[in-house]
Protein backbone atom coordinates (compact mmCIF):
# COMPACT_ATOMS: atom_id res chain seq x y z
CA UNK A 1 0.00 0.00 0.00
CA UNK A 2 1.32 3.39 -0.98
CA UNK A 3 1.14 5.58 2.10
CA UNK A 4 1.09 9.35 2.26
CA UNK A 5 0.37 11.77 5.07
CA UNK A 6 -0.20 15.52 5.01
CA UNK A 7 1.29 18.19 7.26
CA UNK A 8 -0.64 21.45 7.41
CA UNK A 9 0.77 24.94 7.92
CA UNK A 10 -0.89 25.12 11.34
CA UNK A 11 1.02 22.04 12.58
CA UNK A 12 -1.55 19.30 12.08
CA UNK A 13 -1.04 15.82 10.69
CA UNK A 14 -3.74 14.41 8.40
CA UNK A 15 -4.20 10.75 7.58
CA UNK A 16 -6.53 9.15 5.08
CA UNK A 17 -9.19 6.84 6.48
CA UNK A 18 -7.45 3.76 5.05
CA UNK A 19 -4.10 4.66 6.63
CA UNK A 20 -5.70 5.41 10.00
CA UNK A 21 -7.71 2.18 9.99
CA UNK A 22 -4.81 -0.07 9.00
CA UNK A 23 -2.01 1.41 11.12
CA UNK A 24 -3.77 3.25 13.97
CA UNK A 25 -6.96 1.29 14.74
CA UNK A 26 -7.29 2.75 18.25
CA UNK A 27 -6.97 6.33 16.93
CA UNK A 28 -4.02 6.97 19.22
CA UNK A 29 -0.32 7.26 18.46
CA UNK A 30 3.00 8.62 19.61
CA UNK A 31 5.23 10.73 17.34
CA UNK A 32 9.00 10.37 17.67
CA UNK A 33 11.43 12.50 15.62
CA UNK A 34 14.32 10.40 14.24
CA UNK A 35 16.72 12.37 12.04
CA UNK A 36 14.98 13.30 8.79
CA UNK A 37 11.98 11.13 9.66
CA UNK A 38 9.05 11.25 12.02
CA UNK A 39 8.07 7.85 13.37
CA UNK A 40 4.39 7.40 14.13
CA UNK A 41 3.75 4.45 16.41
CA UNK A 42 0.30 3.15 17.34
CA UNK A 43 -0.72 2.83 20.97
CA UNK A 44 -2.89 0.11 22.47
CA UNK A 45 -5.44 2.75 23.40
CA UNK A 46 -5.82 6.37 24.48
CA UNK A 47 -5.33 5.44 28.14
CA UNK A 48 -1.57 5.40 27.58
CA UNK A 49 -1.41 9.06 26.59
CA UNK A 50 -0.03 10.10 23.24
CA UNK A 51 -1.90 11.87 20.47
CA UNK A 52 -5.54 11.25 19.62
CA UNK A 53 -6.66 11.06 16.02
CA UNK A 54 -9.96 12.83 15.49
CA UNK A 55 -12.27 12.16 12.59
CA UNK A 56 -12.27 15.16 10.21
CA UNK A 57 -15.07 14.30 7.82
CA UNK A 58 -17.57 11.68 6.67
CA UNK A 59 -14.88 9.98 4.61
CA UNK A 60 -13.13 9.00 7.85
CA UNK A 61 -9.97 11.07 7.41
CA UNK A 62 -8.21 11.68 10.72
CA UNK A 63 -6.09 14.52 12.08
CA UNK A 64 -4.12 15.48 15.16
CA UNK A 65 -2.09 18.48 16.23
CA UNK A 66 1.56 17.42 15.93
CA UNK A 67 3.61 20.63 15.73
CA UNK A 68 5.47 19.90 19.00
CA UNK A 69 7.13 16.83 17.42
CA UNK A 70 8.17 18.65 14.24
CA UNK A 71 11.42 20.52 13.57
CA UNK A 72 10.82 24.09 14.71
CA UNK A 73 13.33 25.67 12.32
CA UNK A 74 11.78 24.19 9.15
CA UNK A 75 8.51 22.36 9.80
CA UNK A 76 7.17 20.26 6.92
CA UNK A 77 4.08 21.40 5.04
CA UNK A 78 2.33 19.35 2.40
CA UNK A 79 2.14 15.70 1.41
CA UNK A 80 4.93 13.35 2.48
CA UNK A 81 5.62 9.72 1.63
CA UNK A 82 5.65 7.18 4.42
CA UNK A 83 6.49 3.52 4.82
CA UNK A 84 5.43 1.02 7.44
CA UNK A 85 8.41 -0.47 9.29
CA UNK A 86 7.18 -3.80 10.64
CA UNK A 87 10.36 -4.47 12.64
CA UNK A 88 9.88 -1.25 14.66
CA UNK A 89 6.09 -1.06 14.53
CA UNK A 90 6.19 2.46 13.11
CA UNK A 91 4.96 4.44 10.16
CA UNK A 92 8.12 6.23 9.07
CA UNK A 93 7.39 9.59 7.48
CA UNK A 94 10.00 11.51 5.47
CA UNK A 95 10.23 15.10 6.75
CA UNK A 96 12.27 16.43 3.81
CA distance 47 to 80: 29
Domain boundaries defined on the chain? 3-94
* pLDDT of 1: 66
Of 21, 25, 26, 27, the residue nearest 3 (C-alpha): 21
Residue 63: strand pairing partners: 14, 54
Q: pLDDT averaged over consecutive 10-residue blocks of the chain (96 residues)?
A: 90 96 95 95 82 95 94 91 96 93
* pLDDT of 71: 85
Q: What is the dihedral of CA 22, 69, 79, 48, to 10 degrees?
A: 10
Amino acid sequence: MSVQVTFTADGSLRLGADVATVYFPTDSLVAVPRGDELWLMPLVGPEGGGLLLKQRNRDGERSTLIWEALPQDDPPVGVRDAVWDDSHGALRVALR
